[in-house]
Structure formats: C-alpha cells, structure tokens
Amino acid sequence: MIKRTGIYKQAKQICSPYFNERPVGLEVSLLVIHCISLPEGVYGGKQIEQLFTGCLDCHEHQSFSDLQGLEVSAHCVIRRDGLVEQYVPFDHRAWHAGVSSFDGVEACNDYSIGIELEGTDKSAYTQGQYLALAELSQQLISYYPKLTKQRIIGHSGIAPGRKNDPGYLFDWAHYLALLD
C-alpha cells in the first residue's frame, strides 16, 4: 500500500512545495500526530490544502495573519470523513515538527512522518479519522522497520510547552488498540 517512492496509494495526492531530502543515513523512526483546522474549528474547506501548497490568502480570515510567509507541510492530512490527503512522500522530509526533540534527538523532521488530523486540540475526532489513521499507521509500521507503536507521539510530546496537539480529547487508548 506504500510504494517505494513513499506514496500512500489510498491517499489523494496533492503536492506541497515545502519539503526536502532527509539527511543521509537517517531512517524514518517516529510518527508524529498533529491537528489542524483553518480557521480553528472550521472543517471541510480548502484552507489546509492552500496553506500546505503556498496558496493561502492570509487576508481571508483575521486568524490567518500570523501564517503570512509560513512554509509548512505534513506528509498527510486525515479529513473528518477519513479521507487521506498526501502532501509529501514519506521518503522526503516534510516541515511539520518545528523546533522539536524526541528521546534526546532534536530536529524530528529529519526522521519522522507527520500526520495531521483535521480538528483542534480541544475537539474530539471522528471514528473515520481513527480508522484511517490506524490503517495508515499499520502500513507505515510495516514499511519502516524502525517505526514501532512505542515511537508514535503527539506534537505536544516533541514540542512541550509550545504545542498541544493532537489535544486532550484524542483517544490514545482507542487509536493504539486499533493497531493490535
């Protein structure tokens, strides 16, 4: 289900310009779960795609003003209905983690895959999102030998004090049980 080129066959493919090569010798070994909605709490629009492709009109909503000039991406976004959109191939480095550290190793973008759930850090996620996330996670764990259930974390876990996602309503127990 994951091609050698890092493409997830079940995903809608949308190309972000915001990625680059991973450092030589580093293997994918971390999965980071994020959340995003633009504007916050508004779902189903084109704004996430526009942000990740560099086309967001930052004058469209007052909350977008701090996004002006931001170059950010994730490997995938999982919409509320469970649709998976892929913006960056998994074998490339997406720009999702920012200043980050996991297990004493900084620069998590270098060795991680970033998955955004359409939502907020204060909202519950849908069953469709959990099912799609679990299916994608299982495929990634099968494809990348250093990626394990123990190496799946929220953005808040690699950027404490700076990020809260996926939020306190993300049901880790439910999600991890789906991986068994």
Q: Which residues are catalytic?
A: 116
CA distance 83 to 10: 9
CA distance 73 to 75: 7
- Indicate left, alpha or beta for 161 from its phi (over 0: left) and psi (-120 to 50: alpha): left
Radius of gyration of the chain (CA): 15
Residue ranges of alpha helices (H) inside the chain are 47-52, 127-143, 155-158, 172-178
Question: Is the Cβ–Cβ distance between 115 and 82 less than 8 Å?
Answer: no
